[in-house]
A and B are shown apart, each in its own frame.
Chain A
Amino acid sequence: MAQLTLDELRKKRKEAQKGIYLREGKYKSKIIVHMGTCGIAVGAREIVTAFLEEIEILTEKDVILTTSGCAGLCSMEPMATVELLNSPSVKYGNLTTDKARRIFKEHILGGNIVTDYAIGIGSEKGG
């Protein structure tokens, strides 16, 4: 490893911060994937993977992904709730990985609710 210059150290810091962002409690949006037995049976885990892959390619890591139990609407699984800072949470149902990626781009990054898949707004504060 070559010795770092000042600029290289600063660059390294920016890079390294991405590695620990989950621990600092600083994030702008949160995705909650419902992982009841019913959700898992119809593909909730693939939804998690799809979201994670989207987060992976972000340069500014400010999205976290968590899971919660069954949301009580088993017929709509797989489901996810999206919470942007200071706005009501939005629940999406009947997800596929493609739908998840679209929600990620349009709602999480773009700030626009994807009304096509939304099944409820501000109903539950999941988590």
Chain B
Amino acid sequence: MAVRRIELMLCTGTGCVAGGAFRISEALEKEIQKQGLEKEISVIITGCNGFCGHGPLMLVQPDGIFYGFLTPEDIPFLVQEHFLKGRPVKKLMFSPPEKKEPVPLLSEIPFFKKQLLIVLRNRGIIDPEKIDEYIARDGFTALEKVLTSMTPDDVINEITRSGLRGRGGAGFPTGTKWKICRAEQKMPKYIICNCDEGDPGAFMDRSVFESDPLSAMEGMIIGGYAIGASHGYIYARSEYPLAIKRMNLSISSAKDYGLMGKNILGTDFSFDLEIRQGSGAFVCGEETSLILSIEGRGPEPIQRPPFPAQSGIWGCPTVINNVETWATIPVIINRGADWFSKIGTETSKGTKIFSLVGKINNAGLIEVPMGITLKEIVYDIGGGIPDNKKFKAVQTGGPSGGCIPYSMIDIPIDFESLIEAGSMMGSGGMIVMDEDTCMVDVAKFFIQFTNDESCGKCTTCRDGSEALHKVLTDITNGDGKEVDLEFLEEVGNAIKDASACGLGTTLPNPVLSTLKYFRDEYEAHIKERRCPALVCKNLIKYYILPEKCTGCKLCLKNCPPGAIKGELKHIHIIDQSKCTKCGTCLDVCPPKVSAIIKVSGKEMENITGIEEPYPVKRKGGKNET
């Protein structure tokens, strides 16, 4: 390959592609041609860089300069200024909200500074569609090491000593799982990579396969060697076309090189991989259910034990691990258990990927050492809450995780601390909530999700979630009763105790944790018919402040159901009987005027909306009343 002086590492993860990354690459190619720079500069397509909230984006190497929010129109200027004349373009760099000067280097941007990349070691560095680039970054050195100098038991011991625990949710020690499977007499044995990733908003696993598919695959091959399996499956969500395309490409190039298939690297170890696409149901991600689905049967969790490690696909011993778990394996083999176990906390070793979303300035995908505090994640990496709003809570652990309140912001992120706080690690979803979030509404949202996704086998899970949902709906509608809170707790605990699979045993978490930390919000809904966050539609009214309204007619023109009465220079009135509480009026009322407010509870009583518009009277810019 001919040398270049500049490589443009352009993110083509799902987020940036949705933002037009391929139009950026076209514009770049075109301008590079036009300036005659094609022998000096190349555009490299990479997977998700993590800073998705700033996409489309790219990293300029070897300078290390980061450009975000790119549009095709920016490109000609950028190419001429920076890539031809060597003057980096400030306006396309990252600027922290509070500072005027941009931060040119990616490595200096706070979002990246506190991250530690083990699983995502190659993100943004390699083209995920070129096996040679993976190989260049020490790809398959772990496999070499295993095949030439380690017995299967050595491999299992190393993984056990590293302290690695599964990243798919439950945190089961990976080495122990492998050991159980290796001890089984029955043959053949199987390896599965769980890439079902059903949590709404989560994209950790997708991102690994989009940015570095071979890392997880190398882990699987090593796992196959360790337990004595020669066949593996990747169970992938069918909504992940780009990840699946890159899996397919990787499998065929690994086979071409003899790194997969028969007699790998000339040894007598053989291993093949196959991709299976999931049906999309959340419960398919549960391991026993996933295995039934691979067998071609309807997904439905079955009681364990026996565990898949003893009896999995077609009753054969099967090791199933999460994508992140698999992608960690080669690094542990290469760098050793001692190195790995120094990272993290006493019980949770290594790093974890989180998708940081919600009310946060720097949304994206992050990989951090276990034990980092929630505060560091939200403020240092995430850059805090937008619009100077107050931080209220973080929901971790996916739809059946719990909400951790601001008062616990110093909590270290590890398996045990999160469970103690009434939440869990789950697969790494992290949703940040600000003061405008109603915690009862949040609980209702997640229960709705798990209720929809319950397979229906256990009465507690199926009917219990239904009952929780009904009561939460009542409360948010203003029909709650004081006994409801006890009921929620009782039913919640019963579902936890009596359901067969992890979906049932965890689904009450959002309710129980919000009841624990935000009981006052529940009580306000019930006792005062008040939604403190001003979210629940039945408990709020929109109101136009007469002393502020200028009679500009903007809200009137924009109100979808035509609920606003008014004339030019007249105080406008909302007809409460017609208002659907869509919030449009509040959005369109000019910020300088800000005449429209939301009220809840007692304040609603006098707002009827039956008066008629009357003229605005004002002197010296102020209203007379």
Question: Footprint of B on A, CB under 8 Å?
Answer: 1-6, 9-10, 12-13, 15-20, 22-25, 27, 32-37, 40, 48-49, 52, 55-56, 61, 64-69, 127
The answer to whether B257 and A67 have CB atoms under 8 Å apart is: no
* Minimal beta-carbon separation of B79 from chain A (angstroms): 12
Given A9-B265, A52-B39, A22 contacting B259 (CB threshold 8 A) = no
The answer to whether A69 and B64 have CB atoms under 8 Å apart is: no
Chain A CB within 8 A of B90 CB: no
Question: What would be 24 A-B contacts, judged by CB atoms less than 8 Å apart?
Answer: A3-B257, A3-B258, A3-B263, A4-B257, A4-B258, A5-B266, A6-B144, A13-B135, A13-B136, A13-B138, A13-B139, A15-B132, A16-B133, A16-B136, A20-B133, A23-B61, A27-B62, A32-B86, A37-B85, A48-B5, A66-B63, A67-B85, A69-B85, A69-B87
In the complex, A107→B64 CA distance in Å?
A: 25
Interface residues of B in 1-43 (CB under 8 A from A): 1-7, 9, 39-40
Interface residues of B in 81-112 (CB under 8 A from A): 83-87
Interface residues of B in 130-146 (CB under 8 A from A): 132-133, 135-141, 144
The answer to whether B4 and A22 have CB atoms under 8 Å apart is: yes
Interface residues of B in 169-186 (CB under 8 A from A): none
In the complex, A68→B3 CA distance in Å?
A: 19
Residue of A nearest to B256 (CB): A1
Chain A CB within 8 A of B503 CB: no
In the complex, A27→B86 CA distance in Å?
A: 19
The answer to whether A49 and B39 have CB atoms under 8 Å apart is: yes
In the complex, A48→B85 CA distance in Å?
A: 12
The answer to whether A19 and B1 have CB atoms under 8 Å apart is: yes
Chain A CB within 8 A of B126 CB: yes
Chain A CB within 8 A of B625 CB: no
* Minimal beta-carbon separation of A37 from chain B (angstroms): 7
Chain A CB within 8 A of B125 CB: yes
Chain A CB within 8 A of B148 CB: yes
Residue of B nearest to A31 (CB): B5
The answer to whether A68 and B86 have CB atoms under 8 Å apart is: yes
The answer to whether B132 and A19 have CB atoms under 8 Å apart is: yes
Given A13-B135, A66-B5, A25 contacting B64 (CB threshold 8 A) = yes
- Residues on the A chain within 8 Å of B257, using CB: 1, 3-4, 9, 12
B84 interface neighbour in A9, A16, A61, A67, Cβ under 8 Å: A67
The answer to whether B126 and A6 have CB atoms under 8 Å apart is: no
In the complex, A17→B258 CA distance in Å?
A: 20
Given A67-B85, A67-B86, A6 contacting B266 (CB threshold 8 A) = yes
- Residues on the B chain within 8 Å of A34, using CB: 86
- Residues on the A chain within 8 Å of B6, using CB: 22, 66
* Minimal beta-carbon separation of B256 from chain A (angstroms): 4
Given A1-B256, A3-B257, A23-B61, A9 contacting B135 (CB threshold 8 A) = yes
The answer to whether A25 and B265 have CB atoms under 8 Å apart is: no
In the complex, A68→B65 CA distance in Å?
A: 13
- Residues on the B chain within 8 Å of A67, using CB: 5, 83-86
Q: Count how many pairs of residues, one from A and one from B, have CB atoms less than 8 Å apart in the complex.
A: 108
The answer to whether B61 and A5 have CB atoms under 8 Å apart is: no
The answer to whether A5 and B136 have CB atoms under 8 Å apart is: no
Residue of B nearest to A64 (CB): B62
Residue of B nearest to A18 (CB): B1
In the complex, A25→B65 CA distance in Å?
A: 12
- Residues on the A chain within 8 Å of B148, using CB: 6
Given A4-B265, A67-B84, A20 contacting B258 (CB threshold 8 A) = no
The answer to whether A20 and B126 have CB atoms under 8 Å apart is: yes
- Residues on the A chain within 8 Å of B140, using CB: 9, 13
In the complex, A34→B138 CA distance in Å?
A: 35
B62 interface neighbour in A12, A25, A35, A49, Cβ under 8 Å: A25
Residue of A nearest to B147 (CB): A6
Query: Can you list, as one digit per residue, whether each of B252-279 has a CB less than 8 Å from chain A (1) or not (0)?
Result: 0000111101010110000000000000
Given contact pairs A12-B135, A23-B7, a sample of 9 additional A-B residue pairs in the complex whose CB atoms are under 8 Å apart:
A3-B263, A6-B148, A17-B136, A19-B1, A20-B125, A20-B136, A23-B61, A36-B85, A69-B85
A9 interface neighbour in B61, B144, B261, Cβ under 8 Å: B144
In the complex, A13→B257 CA distance in Å?
A: 12
* Minimal beta-carbon separation of A34 from chain B (angstroms): 7
In the complex, A48→B41 CA distance in Å?
A: 12
Residue of B9, B63, B86, B265 with most chain A CB atoms under a 10 A cut-off: B86
* Minimal beta-carbon separation of A109 from chain B (angstroms): 15
The answer to whether A64 and B265 have CB atoms under 8 Å apart is: no
- Residues on the B chain within 8 Å of A127, using CB: 63
- Residues on the B chain within 8 Å of A18, using CB: 1, 3
The answer to whether A23 and B256 have CB atoms under 8 Å apart is: no
Interface residues of B in 235-260 (CB under 8 A from A): 256-259
Q: Which 9 A-B pairs have the closest CB atoms?
A: A3-B258, A67-B86, A16-B136, A68-B86, A16-B132, A65-B5, A1-B256, A69-B87, A17-B136
Interface residues of B in 114-161 (CB under 8 A from A): 125-126, 132-133, 135-141, 144, 148
In the complex, A15→B589 CA distance in Å?
A: 63
A69 interface neighbour in B62, B63, B86, B258, Cβ under 8 Å: B86
A22 interface neighbour in B61, B83, B84, B144, Cβ under 8 Å: B61
- Residues on the A chain within 8 Å of B126, using CB: 20
- Residues on the A chain within 8 Å of B5, using CB: 22, 48, 52, 64-67
In the complex, A25→B3 CA distance in Å?
A: 15
- Residues on the B chain within 8 Å of A1, using CB: 256-257
In the complex, A22→B85 CA distance in Å?
A: 19
Residue of A nearest to B81 (CB): A69
In the complex, A4→B140 CA distance in Å?
A: 12
- Residues on the B chain within 8 Å of A69, using CB: 85-87
In the complex, A83→B144 CA distance in Å?
A: 38
* Minimal beta-carbon separation of A8 from chain B (angstroms): 9
Residue of A nearest to B138 (CB): A13
